[in-house]
């Protein structure tokens, strides 16, 4: 048995793909003192930030260099900021240009608008206004042109592109400025609409039912479990699409038969789910430091600048911050759109593992560069699109059993637990109309009238 396990470990290490190092960028966040103690907000209470996991707090202190008080304050501030940003997004409409948090405790929320007349409304929500030239919709339209061009152009020299809300521009990471210019020209995008981040290297996928535990694919490759999910009466887990194709079989960390890939998308997206046999039970648990566990309460999307922590079967438990959402990455195997870039480190074998923000599931590890000795960049596939595309229900501490509502516009009017909602979506519930403030999968205990952190009455 020992020899077999050692051979399996060697095969897994050989199968895992290596990572490359990106040029480091200086941090724009400046330290700020923690806010004065005060009552816990409805937003923080709803999203569980007022009762943070000790494992999350300790990892944030280590990786973000925070004091215990700063780590606790940061989670509360991030929860509050997400709700305030959602309210302003609904108020500003097409003028909204994104939001982000900054400072050691994320005490500063900045909301961008294309109209200086919105400054008073933004400041009334306790945020700083940034007046910019382009709305978020315009920026996304530019990125969509790059997405379309990637299907017909070689992107080896331009492996990453994304919407940078803090800089109010679309950025292309390229091996040279000329490569970025060529990509922009192919996409029909004006040079002034695209910023360039020069790096000599490119990300690769981190190849190699507690989130973060190892599992093996067809007895060869190794990846990490993301989040436990259910579909009808079937239990399973979410993971990275590049880890396996539909029909591939899996064994667990203990080499026991585990399950089969039910669906997988890669490239384009990097998402998959594995249905497990009766020997495995879905839980809301994610593996943290030293074998301890944290539990997931939902899937509310974190803002740019917010803290996130990752678990993986190679490097364990590490934290960092969100750099930007809506990032496209051109891996050697093909382009993946809609990823989130973070400052968290990862290494081969961590692929598929979970990212959490406080008690909220964020996504599954896709790929990146660097390592956990010298630091690196890691991308994750957001969990809400994965749940929506595959019709899955996230296993949480509060989720009621049931089947997700169908993800089609015709059935979208009535609020339903299990449905994935995007910010700005309007629903009806108990005869009242509500507008969504933050991307999330609805939990049974999060009905609109009881969850002002996620829903605004209209």
Q: Give pLDDT tens digits for 381-392.
A: 999 999 999 999
Closest of 253, 269, 271 to residue 261, by C-alpha: 271
Three-state SS string across 40-66, please? Answer: CCHHHHHCCCCCCCHHHHHHHHHHHCC
- Judge whether residue 47 has pLDDT over 80: no
Q: What is the mean pLDDT of residues 288-307?
A: 95
The average confidence (pLDDT) of the chain is 88
Which residues in 326-337 are b (16+ Cβ under 10 Å) and which e? bbbbbbeeebbb
How far apart CA 378 and CA 19 sit, in angstroms, is 10
Determine the pLDDT at residue 28. Answer: 27
Where does the pLDDT of residue 192 fall: very low under 50, low under 70, confident under 90, or very high at 90 and above?
A: confident
User: Is the Cα torsion angle 72, 73, 74, 77 positive or negative in sign?
Assistant: positive
270 is catalytic: yes
Give the model confidence (pLDDT) of 113-138 as tens digits.
999 999 999 999 999 999 999 999 99
> Annotated catalytic residue: which of 351, 366, 369, 440?
351
27 is catalytic: no
* Strands (DSSP E) found in 292-374: 293-295, 307-312, 316-331, 334-342, 354-357, 360-371
351 is catalytic: yes
Determine the pLDDT at residue 32. Answer: 35
Phi and psi at residue 294, in whole multiples of 5°? -120, 160
Determine the pLDDT at residue 42. Answer: 77
How far apart CA 94 and CA 251 sit, in angstroms, is 48
- Judging by DSSP bridges, how do beta strands 249-252 and 257-265 pair with one another? antiparallel
> Annotated catalytic residue: which of 270, 285, 337, 350?
270
The percent of residues in the chain predicted with pLDDT above 90, rounded, is 78
> Annotated catalytic residue: which of 242, 318, 325, 440?
242
Q: In whole angstroms, how far apart are CA 71 and each of 45, 62, 308?
A: 16, 10, 12
- Judge whether residue 23 has pLDDT over 50: no
How buried is 398 (Cβ within 10 angstroms: 0-12 exposed, 13-18 middle, 19+ buried)? Answer: middle
- Judge whether residue 11 has pLDDT over 80: no
In the chain, the domains with their CATH numbers are 137-202 (3.30.300.50), 403-457 (2.10.10.20)
> What is the three-class DSSP state of 228?
strand
Phi and psi at residue 91, in whole multiples of 5°? -70, -45
Q: Across the strands, what pairs with 223? A: 215
Question: Other CB atoms closer than 10 Å to residue 393's CB: what's the count?
Answer: 25
């Amino acid at each position: 048995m020992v020899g077999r396990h050692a051979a399996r470990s060697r095969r897994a290490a050989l199968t895992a793909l290596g990572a490359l190092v990106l040029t480091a960028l200086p941090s724009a966040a400046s330290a700020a003192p923690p806010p004065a103690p005060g009552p816990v907000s409805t937003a923080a209470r709803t999203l569980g930030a007022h009762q943070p996991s000790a494992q999350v707090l300790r990892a944030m202190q280590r990786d973000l260099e925070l004091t215990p008080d700063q780590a606790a304050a940061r989670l509360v501030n991030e929860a509050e900021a997400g709700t305030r940003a959602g309210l302003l997004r609904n108020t500003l409409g097409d003028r909204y240009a994104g939001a982000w948090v900054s400072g050691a405790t994320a005490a500063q929320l900045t909301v961008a608008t294309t109209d200086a007349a919105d400054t008073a409304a933004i400041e009334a929500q306790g945020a700083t206004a940034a007046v910019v030239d382009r709305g978020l919709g315009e920026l996304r339209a530019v990125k969509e042109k790059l997405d379309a061009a990637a299907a017909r152009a070689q992107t080896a020299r331009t492996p990453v592109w994304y919407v940078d809300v803090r800089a109010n521009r679309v950025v292309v990471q390229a091996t040279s400025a000329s490569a970025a210019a060529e990509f922009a020209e192919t996409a029909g995008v004006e040079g002034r609409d695209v910023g360039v981040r020069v790096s000599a290297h490119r990300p690769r996928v981190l190849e190699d039912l507690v989130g973060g535990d190892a599992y093996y694919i067809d007895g060869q490759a190794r990846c990490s479990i993301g989040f436990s999910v259910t579909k009808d009466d079937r239990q399973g887990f979410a993971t990275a699409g590049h880890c396996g194709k539909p029909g591939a079989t899996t064994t667990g960390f203990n080499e026991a038969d585990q399950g089969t890939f039910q669906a997988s998308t890669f490239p384009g997206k990097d998402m998959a789910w594995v249905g497990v046999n009766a020997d495995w039970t879905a839980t809301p648990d994610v593996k943290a430091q030293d074998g301890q566990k944290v539990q997931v309460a939902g899937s509310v999307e974190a803002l740019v600048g917010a803290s996130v922590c990752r678990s993986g079967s190679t490097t364990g438990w590490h934290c960092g911050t969100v750099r930007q959402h809506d990032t496209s990455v051109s891996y050697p195997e093909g382009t993946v759109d809609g990823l989130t870039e973070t400052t968290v480190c990862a290494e081969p074998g961590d692929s598929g593992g979970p990212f959490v923000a406080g008690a909220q599931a964020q996504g599954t590890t896709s790929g990146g560069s660097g390592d956990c000795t010298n630091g690196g960049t890691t991308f994750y596939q957001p969990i809400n699109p994965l749940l929506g595309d595959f019709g899955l229900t996230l296993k949480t501490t509060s989720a009621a059993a049931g089947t997700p509502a169908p993800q089609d516009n015709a059935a979208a009017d009535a609020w339903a637990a299990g449905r994935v909602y995007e910010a700005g979506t309007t629903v009806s519930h108990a005869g009242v109309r509500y507008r969504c403030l933050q991307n999330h999968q609805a939990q049974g205990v999060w009905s609109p009238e009881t969850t002002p952190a996620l829903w605004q009455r209209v």
